[in-house]
Structure 1
C-alpha cells in the first residue's frame, strides 16, 4: 500500500496496518507541505531560506528534516537531490486528491496544516497565508460540485450531507448556504430549511450583510402546480416556446416563470429529451437573464445534464456543460469550469458541430484569461471568433472578439486589442445586441487610453456606462465606472477618481453572483490609486485584493497584490509574487516582478 499523507486537518502520515512514526516537529511538516504543494521542484536554497534561515547551518538543518521525512514516510529514496520534489508515484497526498476530484466528500474541508504554526519564518508564513484559503476555496468548490451532482440524480438526502458540510465551512458564503437550503427543500426538510434560513439571516445581520432574494427563495418549496387536460408533453413544448419568446422580448421574469411551468410539465411527461431542452432553457435564463440566481440556475442545469445524458443527446449535453462552465468561470471556480469544458469538447466532437465548438472555445478562452494566461486565451478566442464567423454565429463572434480584446490589451498588444474591440462593436451593433455592447466599448476605451487618446477614451467609457446603467448590468456598470475612474486619475482629479472607483465597486458587488474577475479588476484600480497618492489606504487595499484573488483563484491579481506589498517593504512577498506570476502573460506585471528581483535580490533572507 502506498504511503498516505494527510495535510487537510491535523497532518498525519499513514502507512497501512502499522502506525507510522510521525515527522518530528512543525518544520518537518511545513517542509513536506511546501514540497508537495509547490507545483514544481523547489531548490534546497529556497527551502532553507524559507524554513531554516535562522539556523547556524540552514542547509544542514534542511538535510536533517528531509531525513526525518524519509524515516516517517518509510521511503529512503524520496526527497533527494536538488531541486527537491515529491511525485504521485511515490506517495498519496490528500490535497492532490482534492485537486483532481478523487478525495471522498467526508475527507474534504479540513484546514491545511491545522495546528502547524511557525514563528520567524516569514517566507513560509506568507506561503501558508495563500495556501490555506486556496485549499479552503477548492474544498468548497468540490463539495458544491458533488452536491449538485447528487441533486441532479435524485439523491437528495446525500446531497443534504455534502451541501451541509460545505455550508458549515463558511457561514457567510451565501452560495453555499443557498445550495444547502435547496438540498433540504428537495429532500423534503422544509421546516429544517426555514430554521437554517433564520440562522443565516441572523449571522449575516451580525456582519452587516443583507441576504439576497435568492437565499430566501431557496428555502421555499415549489408552489402549487396547475394542471390542464392536455397531454403534459404538448403543454411543456408550448410553454417552452412561449417562455423563450418572452425572454427574447426582454421579459425575463415572465419568461422564467413560464419555463418553470414548462419544466413541471416536461417532468410529468417523462420525456427525457424534452426535459433536457426545457431545463437547459430555464437554467440558462437563470444564469444570464436575471442577476442573483446563478445558484438555482446551476441546480437546474445539472438536472438538464442528467436528462441529456440519459436521452443520449451529446450536443445538448455539451451546450449545458458550456453553460455550467460559464457560471463557474464567473464565480472563480476555474477547476470545475475546466473539467466541464473538457467534457463539453468531447461531447461536441461526437457530433461535429463547429458552431458549438466555437462556443466551447470561447468559454475556454475566458477561463484561461481570468487566470492570466492571456497568450493561450488569445489563441482560443481567435479560433472561436473565426469558427463562429464561418458558421454564421454572429453574436458568438462578437462575444469572442470582445473577450479577446481584453487578453490582447493585458498581454501588451494595444493595437490588436483596439482592432478586436472595434470588430466586436461592429458586429454587436449590426446584430442590435445592446446587452453586450458595453463590454467591447470599455475595452476599446482602455486601448485608446493606452495609446494616449484620452478624450475619445472618455467618450467610449461614458457611452458604455450610460448603456450599462440602462441595462442594469452590475458587471458592465463596474467595468465602465472603473474606466472612468482611471481616466479621471490621468486627468489629475483624484477626488473624482475615488468617487468613480468606489461607485464601480458598489455597483459590481451589489449581487452575490457577480463576475469575480471584474470585481478584482476594480480592486486593482483602487489599490493603484492609493499607491499613486501615497496614502495609508494602500496597505489595506493590497490586503483586500490579496484575499479576494486567493479565494477566486485569480493569479494575476494575486501577483499584483504581492508586488505592491513587496514594494512597500515586505520582502517575504517576493518569492510568492514570482510564483504567482508564473504563466501570467502580462508584460507590465512581469516587468514589476523582475524589478523586485533586481532591487531586493529576490530573497527574503
Structure 2
C-alpha cells in the first residue's frame, strides 16, 4: 500500500489513491511541524500548537492519536528520550518533502506546485505556531518561485508556451521578482509578441510604482531593448575583439569597463544573429557580475536565463554546464541550497559529457559547499575530494586550493579539525602560489577555523586577523563577516562583551549586499544567539529562518532550545543551553 501526504494546497491524505480521514487544523499543524522540525519535545509542540487548552499536554495526546490513526501502519509518530519523531516507510510520499528537495523534473515541479503550505488554515489562536508556519510558508514560496523560474528558463527555447505558463505561475508566488518579470518579457519577445511584452512591462512598472513606491530595476526591461538591426561591423570581427577586450579589462581589475564591453559584445552578436558569440559574451558578463560585483546576482540571473536558452539552441553542452554551475552558485548564495544541488549535479553531468574536467571540478566544488552547509559531510567530502583530484590533474592550483579550503571546512565541521588543518595548509599554499587574490581570504580563514576547532587559539587568532585584512582589501563582506565571527569565537571565553560586538559587526557586514553567503550570516547569528542566551528575539527568529531555508540542520538544532517554550502559555525560554557542544564552547579556554 502507498500513502501520500499532501500538505501543499488543500491538505489531503491518500491511501492507494483513496482519501483517508485527517480533519481539523491542529492535526495537520502537528503533522507539518513533525515533518519540518528536528525531533521536538512534547512540551514544545504543545506550547506552540495548543496554548489555549486547559491541559495542553493532554490536548497534544489527542492530536497525536488522530495523526497516528490516519497514518499507520505506513507512518507513525515515535518518541525517544522525550523527543517526537515522525517515522515514514518507503511507501510514503510527501509532496512537501519532494518540493523542498527540488526535483530535477519539469513534470514533477508542475505537479507539486498546487498552493501554499496548509492552504486556507489559520492558527491565530496559537501565535507561536502561527509565526513558525509563516516562516515555513515563506520558505516554500521562495522554493516554488525559484523552481518555476528555473524551469521556465530551461524550457524557453524548447517549449515556449509551457515556459510562459510556468513563468506566469512563478509570478503568482512572487509578483515583484524582477528576474522572473524579465524572463516573462523575454519569452514574449522571443515568441514574436513584442507589443504584448511592451504592454506587460507598462503593467509591471505601474504595479511596482503603486505598491512598492519604486520603479522596477532597469534590467526588467532588458528584453525590450535588445538590438534588432545589424551593426555596420561584421560580428565575426567585432564580437571576438570586444570579448577579448572585456577579458583583458577583467584581468586588469577594470570591472565596470569589463561589464560594459561584455554587454556591447552581446548586443553586437545578437544584432547580427551570432548566438555563439552572444552566448560567450553573456557568460563572461554573468561571471563578472556574480563573482566580482557584489549585489548584482539578480541581474546575472536574467543573463544566465538567456544564456541557457542560447546554449540549448546551439547544442553546446559545455556552455550549458557553465550556465548551470553559475546558476547553482547563485541559488546557494540566495540560501536555496536544495535548489542549487540538482542544478550543480546536472552541470557536472553535462561537463563530463562535454569532456571538460575543469568545468566538472568547479561544479563539484560548489556542490560540496552546499552539501557541507546542510551537514551531508560524507557526500561533501566525496565531491570535494573528486574536485581536488581533477584540479590537481589539470594543474589548476588556484582552484585546487579553493576546493581544498572547502574540503578542510567539511572535515572540521564533521569533527576532524586536525585532518582539516593539514588539508587547509595545502590549500592555502596552492592559493598563495597561484596569485588568486580573491580566493586568498577564504583559504586563510579555513586554516584559522581548523586551528580554532583543534584548540589552537594562538594560531587561529592571527590567521583570522589576516583573513579580515585580506577581505577588507578586496571589499568582500562575506569573508569580512566570517573573519569577524572567528575573532569573536577566540574572544568568547575571556571577553564576552567584545565577542558580542564582533558578531554584531559581522552581521552588519552581511547586510551590505543581498548576495552574501547565507551560511556565514546564519552561523554568525547563531553564535550571537548563544552569547546573548536568546534574549534578542529579532536575531533569534532571523537565524532560525535562515537555518530553515538552507536547510542548515546543525544550526537549527543549536537554535531550537532558545525557541522552545518552557511552560505552556509562557514566553520562550532564553536560558536553556543547547543539548550539544557549541562552537562557542569549543572556543572557550
Normalised to the residue count of structure 1, the TM-score between the two structures is 0.76
CA–CA separation in structure 1 for the residues paired with 2:346 and 2:503: 39
Matched residue SS, 2:516:
coil
Q: Residues 548-587 of structure 1 correspond to what in structure 2 (within 5 A)?
A: 548-566=546-564, 569=566
Gaps of 5+ in 1: 71-75, 573-580, 593-605
CA–CA separation in structure 1 for the residues paired with 2:496 and 2:13: 59
Distance of aligned partners of 1:364 and 1:305 in 2 relative to their CA distance in 1, 3 Å threshold: same
Partner of 1:320: 323
Q: Residues 165-564 of structure 1 correspond to what in structure 2 (within 5 A)?
A: 165-167=169-171, 169=173, 176-181=177-182, 183-184=184-185, 187=188, 188=194, 189-190=197-198, 193=201, 196-197=204-205, 199-200=207-208, 215-219=217-221, 221-222=224-225, 228-492=231-495, 494=497, 496-531=498-533, 536-537=535-536, 539-564=537-562
Residue-by-residue CA offset, 1:66-123 (whole Å, 9 max, x unaligned)? 55x48xxxxx986589897667867784764674354565973733113435699899
2:157–2:312: 8 Å Cα contact kept in structure 1? no
2:372–2:410: 8 Å Cα contact kept in structure 1? yes
2:227–2:271: 8 Å Cα contact kept in structure 1? no
Partner of 1:143: 148
Moved more, 271-280 or 416-425: 271-280
CA–CA separation in structure 1 for the residues paired with 2:178 and 2:297: 13
Asked whether 1:111 is paired with 2:116, we answer: yes
Residue-by-residue CA offset, 1:372-402 (whole Å, 9 max, x unaligned)? 2234322321231122112211121011011
Matched residue SS, 1:399:
helix
- Aligned residue pairs total 556
CA–CA separation in structure 2 for the residues paired with 1:252 and 1:471: 13
Partner of 2:81: none
Partner of 2:82: none
1:48–1:62: 8 Å Cα contact kept in structure 2? no
How far the C-alpha of 1:449 sits from its partner, in A, is 3.3
CA–CA separation in structure 1 for the residues paired with 2:57 and 2:524: 43
1:8–1:95: 8 Å Cα contact kept in structure 2? no
Moved more, 92-101 or 418-427: 92-101
Distance of aligned partners of 1:405 and 1:108 in 2 relative to their CA distance in 1, 3 Å threshold: same
CA–CA separation in structure 1 for the residues paired with 2:477 and 2:567: 35
Residue-by-residue CA offset, 1:268-306 (whole Å, 9 max, x unaligned)? 443444343333222222211211221222222233233
Partner of 1:8: 8
Residue-by-residue CA offset, 1:440-472 (whole Å, 9 max, x unaligned)? 222222333344544543322222222222211
2:143–2:339: 8 Å Cα contact kept in structure 1? no
User: What is the Cα-based RMSD across aligned positions, in Å?
Assistant: 4.5
Normalised to the residue count of structure 2, the TM-score between the two structures is 0.78
CA–CA separation in structure 1 for the residues paired with 2:333 and 2:340: 10
1:152–1:302: 8 Å Cα contact kept in structure 2? no
CA–CA separation in structure 1 for the residues paired with 2:318 and 2:46: 53
2:522–2:547: 8 Å Cα contact kept in structure 1? yes
How far the C-alpha of 1:336 sits from its partner, in A, is 2.3
Distance of aligned partners of 1:163 and 1:380 in 2 relative to their CA distance in 1, 3 Å threshold: same
1:428–1:436: 8 Å Cα contact kept in structure 2? yes
CA–CA separation in structure 2 for the residues paired with 1:419 and 1:295: 37
Gaps of 5+ in 2: 79-84, 189-193, 570-577
